[in-house]
């Protein structure tokens, strides 16, 4: 079952409030650089959720949720771009311009484009159920399926994926499918890098006007 279907607004705010915010050096703000449809932001310091706005800045502790036919692109201080597709829940755990960026994805699909090799000691770490990936300069994607399985897609460069005390190397054109207490599956895909990068160039379209009211009425 999707995380989005089981956790409401109050629980999300509690999740944000109980997480520690470690001290960081340098820029920590994340910017919304592309936006289409209904993208919700749950601020990390207890404010009510709201519709994301183009060029809005987010900080560690914020939670991002995309609804039907909605997507957004976030730009991080280290230059990394994260495309968040529809039905995805993403938590900004830690963000540092010259250090680690930590993201948690509970359901849905994303594509990460680390556009340039990061400085020594810097990395982007994405945690999904039961496993996580660490990168320094690459393009890759991941899908968290309703079944609990996670699929990682390699598009450019090398990605290290960690699960069940094992390390896997994800390369371009390859898929690693992971599930708890089951052997990893290694598959191939035919997605071209140019095609993947074009996914980041979608056009803006406004949110539906009444979605916030409906969600609050339902206590979500």
State pLDDT tens for residues 137-186: 789 999 999 888 999 999 999 999 999 899 999 999 999 999 988 899 99
Residue 211 forms part of a structural domain: no
Residue 167 forms part of a structural domain: yes
The alpha carbon of residue 21 and the mean position of all alpha carbons in its chain are separated, in whole angstroms, by 18
Domain harbouring 103, CATH code: 2.60.120.1440
Domain tally, the chain:
1
- 15 confidence band (pLDDT: 50, 70, 90): very low
Residue 216 forms part of a structural domain: no
- Residue 135 has φ and ψ, to the nearest 5°, of -140, 160
- 99 confidence band (pLDDT: 50, 70, 90): confident
Residue 126 forms part of a structural domain: yes
- Measure Cα distances from 204 to 46, 69, 194, 209 in Å: 28, 12, 21, 15
Q: Can you tell me the mean pLDDT for 6-12?
A: 43
DSSP secondary structure letter of residue 205: B
Rounded to a whole number of angstroms, the CA Rg of the chain reads 17
Residue 128 forms part of a structural domain: yes
Residue-number span of the structural domain to which 133 is assigned: 3-201
The SS3 assignment for 178 reads strand
Residue 73 forms part of a structural domain: yes
Residue 218 forms part of a structural domain: no
Are residues 155 and 140 in contact, defined by beta-carbon separation less than 8 angstroms?
A: yes
Nearest to 42 by CA among 23, 25, 61, 68: 61
| Average model confidence (pLDDT) across the chain | 85
**Cα separation, 151 vs 21, whole angstroms:** 29
Residue 92 forms part of a structural domain: yes
């Amino acid at each position: 079952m999707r995380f989005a279907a089981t956790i409401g607004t109050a629980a999300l705010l509690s999740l944000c409030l109980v997480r520690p915010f470690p001290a960081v050096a340098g820029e920590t703000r994340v910017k919304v650089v592309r936006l289409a449809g209904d993208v919700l932001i749950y601020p990390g310091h207890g404010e009510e959720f709201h519709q994301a706005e183009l060029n809005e800045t987010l900080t560690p502790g914020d939670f991002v949720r995309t609804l039907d036919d909605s997507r957004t692109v976030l730009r991080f201080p280290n230059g990394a771009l994260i495309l968040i597709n529809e039905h995805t829940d993403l938590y900004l755990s830690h963000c540092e311009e010259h250090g680690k960026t930590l993201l948690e994805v509970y359901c849905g699909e994303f594509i990460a484009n680390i556009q340039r090799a990061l400085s020594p000691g810097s990395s982007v770490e994405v945690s999904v159920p039961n496993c996580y990936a660490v990168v320094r300069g690459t393009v890759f994607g991941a899908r968290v399926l309703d079944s609990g399985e996670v699929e990682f897609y390699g598009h450019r460069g090398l990605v290290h994926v960690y699960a069940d005390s094992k390390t896997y190397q994800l390369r371009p054109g390859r898929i690693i499918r992971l599930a708890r207490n089951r052997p990893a599956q290694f598959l191939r895909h035919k997605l071209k890098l140019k095609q993947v990068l074009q996914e980041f160039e979608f056009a803006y379209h406004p949110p539906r006007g009444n979605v916030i009211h409906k969600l609050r009425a339902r206590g979500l």
